[in-house]
Chains A and B, each alone.
Chain A
Amino acid sequence: MASDAEVIGTNRHEPSYLDYKGKHSGIKGWLLSTDHKRIGILYMIGILTFFFVGVFLGFLMRLELIAPGETIVSAETYNQLFTLHGVIMIFLFIIPGIPAIFGNFFLPILIGAKDVAFPRLNLFSWYLYLTGGTLALLSIVLPGGPADTGWTFYIPYSVRTGTNVILPLSAAFVLGFSSLLTGLNFITTVHRLRAPGMTWFKMPLSVWSFYATAWVQVLATPIIAITLMLVAIERLLHIGIFDPALGGDPVLYQHLFWIYSHPAVYIMIIPAMGIVSEIIPVFTHRTIFGYKFIAFSSIAIALFGSLVWAHHMFTAGMSDAGQFIFSLLTMIVAIPSAIKVFNWVATLYKGSIDLAAPMLYVLAFIFLFSIGGLTGVMQGVISINIQFHDTAFIVGHFHYVMFGGTGFAMFAAFHYWMPKMFGRMYNRKLAKIAFWFVFIGFNFLYFPMLVMGWLGMPRRYYDYLPQFHPYHLISTIGSWILITGLIIMFYNLFKALRSGPVVTEKNMWGGETLEWQIDTPPIHENFTEIPVIEERPYMYKDNDPPVEKEETV
């Protein structure tokens, strides 16, 4: 590490990317910038905005469910709430999430490049994202009201309902292209722009995970694009392709939908795993255990994850052979995921663990992701799946994976990389307090869903039988704790941006990857000289904590 740092050291001869004056200045300097770092920040603004909207909708849903019967919204409004919550959280928050923010910002830096392969295409992707988001929001305000089909847009209801279905469909279509172009960009970047000496097995693990994700984005997204387009055209022109009244097959729609949407689950989780693999070695001061296994398991998840889609449809009518194959494949996906978990835990063993905020979120990730993953394996078992199908158990399961997994990893990444991105440090003590609120609230919110789903509580119902009341009550209270935690966390982060202590230390955590060897915040072109990579990442030669930590409370 020491030798590399001397090679790359820039010592502030140049303004940071935040102060950089290019062809345009002011707000135009951001909106027309092709700098991958600025685009990452633009994505961050968009994604967080939609995240807050999604959280608010979720909060309203939980409030409705605090007591049986109609509490604050009608049944129809509730249907629109969960549809919007799903569409926003999936297409606008969690799918772009980590790759668009941190992938854009750090992928080129981590491989020693000055930018992505196609910077203008990268900016174009952000505008597509913005267009998609606008279309989704338009569906709320235009007459007809937001869609009430669920984010899955299942036929035939999505053809019959009077609400605005075409707008969210086209939103998902446009967002799909945004995601696809980002994926295309990342693959080309990783193939073409690695610094000299950066061989495949010297790449940081998050690069591997962004790379695997990019392939899923490129290969799976076109299918959903064409499928959603067909639904929109079905509504407009009655071509009959999915409409059973005209001879079409609604189950075929479900197949095509999940051929994308299951791999999309891995678009969400694989980058999160990359973040975890990045943070654990830094805060244990140990070389990652099983580098190649973690790298290849990303690829294996991407591969097998593309072959399991029909496990969403065990109750929709399928041959026994089909059920058996998809059940088996579903369980096989658990193997590479488990390989990662075991390797992370093995890295922790005998490490000098520093429980800073990013590490706390990562440890919570391992715990919550394991619950989410194992409940997922349960659902892969056909007999149990038929019992659980469309119950709150499913809702609990995927929130454990998506929020407990990807969401927590993203929070970890905020706390880990934010000082690097903005040169400001947040209040570390407050960050830990926020973590405990988020973690405890999360479990109060979603664990009761697993239990009541087991007992038979259906999902997507705005009303329920009295015996489910205690679980719903606990769950709603959990949502308040969680939101309190989120408010503290984002207050802390935003406050740091405005008035946090300035950080100019290049390597505030003692990381061994390239982003810790350049200026804080990075200069416009990242590196004054492209580094030459000589050793593998995470090579901690001793267990010394690299920089003294001053508490900035």
Chain B
Amino acid sequence: MSANTIVHAEVHVHRDDIGARLGMWLFLFTELILFGGMFIVYSVYRFTYPEEFHLAAQELNTIIGTLNTIILLTSSLTMAVSIVAIQKNKISLSLFFQFATIFLALFFMVNKYFEWTAKFDHGIYPGSDTLLNESSGQILFFGLYYMMTGLHGLHVIIGIVMIAFMMRFTSKGIVSYDNYVKLENTGLYWHLVDIIWIFLFPLFYLIS
């Protein structure tokens, strides 16, 4: 027992990959519900103002939307590949694919930037005079559009920061072939960002 007493002061940090994964899944669950609240609001107003939503959606640029969908789906693939690479102990390959994910995510944000600024140039932004003169349904559509894609964009930025940290961890060996749960959890988060976009895209761009 005395031996035990001496040792356990150092055994303070325990490792539990299943626990870490469970925690991440629970967190993703809360994220889904967070967006779920917004999807409820969306569906209520879409049923209240179907015509106006239809009209307002024609303002959105389907081409950029589609491009962004392809980019984000591809980035999910590169993320998944980077995890497989680390499992096979191919560190530089994993780093390359993590970098590719960040690159695609930035590409997505740049597209988003041009899309939003184009709207701003047309005077379509929350509280603008142009928008306030439109019908209620159009105000709500753009209110929801900015809120939901904005919140999603925020998640993309958080994801970029997380993956950047993972690149650092990978190069320092904290994330390695036998301890990659951090990278795996980041991947899970990134897939969530992807999946939310998969619902946002048709709900805003494809209803015109």
B31 contacts A192, CB within 8 Å?
no
Q: How far, in whole Å, are A118 and B137 apart by their CA atoms in the complex?
A: 45
Given A117-B23, A227-B37, A529-B4, answer yes or no on A221-B49 (Cβ-Cβ < 8 Å): no
Q: How many residues of A contact B (CB 8 A)?
A: 38
Q: Let me know if A219 is at the binding interface, CB within 8 A.
A: yes
Within 8 A of B (CB), among A34-74: none
Bin the interface of chain B by size.
35 or more
Distance to closest chain A CB from B189 (angstroms): 14
Q: How far, in whole Å, are A192 and B14 apart by their CA atoms in the complex?
A: 12
A247 contacts B26, CB within 8 Å?
no
Q: Let me know if A470 is at the binding interface, CB within 8 A.
A: no
Minimal Cβ-Cβ distance residue in B for A121 = B23
Q: Chain B interface secondary structure, helix, strand, loop or mixed? A: helix
Given A241-B144, A256-B40, answer yes or no on A528-B34 (Cβ-Cβ < 8 Å): no
A219 contacts B5, CB within 8 Å?
no
Minimal Cβ-Cβ distance residue in A for B150 = A233
Given A226-B38, A246-B136, A528-B4, answer yes or no on A241-B30 (Cβ-Cβ < 8 Å): no
A237 contacts B127, CB within 8 Å?
yes
Within 8 A of A (CB), among B9-32: 9, 12, 14, 16, 18-19, 22-23, 26-27, 29-31
B16 contacts A239, CB within 8 Å?
no
Distance to closest chain B CB from A290 (angstroms): 30
Instruction: Return chain B residues, CB-CB under 8 Å to A241.
Output: 41, 45, 140, 143-144, 147
Distance to closest chain B CB from A185 (angstroms): 7
A191 contacts B22, CB within 8 Å?
yes
1/0 contact string of B165-199 vs chain A (CB within 8 Å): 00000000000000000000000000000000000
Q: Let me know if B201 is at the binding interface, CB within 8 A.
A: no
A256 contacts B41, CB within 8 Å?
yes
A256 contacts B143, CB within 8 Å?
no
1/0 contact string of A221-257 vs chain B (CB within 8 Å): 1110111001001000111110000111100100010
A192 contacts B16, CB within 8 Å?
yes
B147 contacts A188, CB within 8 Å?
no
A188 contacts B19, CB within 8 Å?
yes
Q: How far, in whole Å, are A468 and B135 apart by their CA atoms in the complex?
A: 48
Minimal Cβ-Cβ distance residue in A for B35 = A226
A219 contacts B19, CB within 8 Å?
no
A188 contacts B137, CB within 8 Å?
no
Q: How far, in whole Å, are A239 and B8 apart by their CA atoms in the complex?
A: 56
Given A14-B5, A191-B19, A252-B41, answer yes or no on A233-B140 (Cβ-Cβ < 8 Å): no
Instruction: Return chain A residues, CB-CB under 8 Å to B31.
Output: 222
For A117, A187, A192, A247, which residue has the most chain B Cβ atoms within 10 angstroms?
Answer: A247
Select which of B12, B36, B37, B139 is within 8 A of A240 by beta carbon. B139
Given A187-B26, A226-B37, A256-B40, 8 extra CB contacts under 8 A: A192-B19, A218-B29, A223-B37, A233-B126, A237-B126, A240-B136, A240-B143, A241-B41
Binding site for B on A (CB under 8 A): 13-14, 114, 117-118, 121, 180, 184-185, 187-188, 191-193, 218-219, 221-223, 225-227, 230, 233, 237-241, 246-249, 252, 256, 525, 528-529
Q: List 10 A-B contacts (CB under 8 A).
A: A14-B5, A188-B26, A192-B18, A226-B35, A230-B147, A233-B147, A238-B126, A239-B144, A240-B136, A246-B132
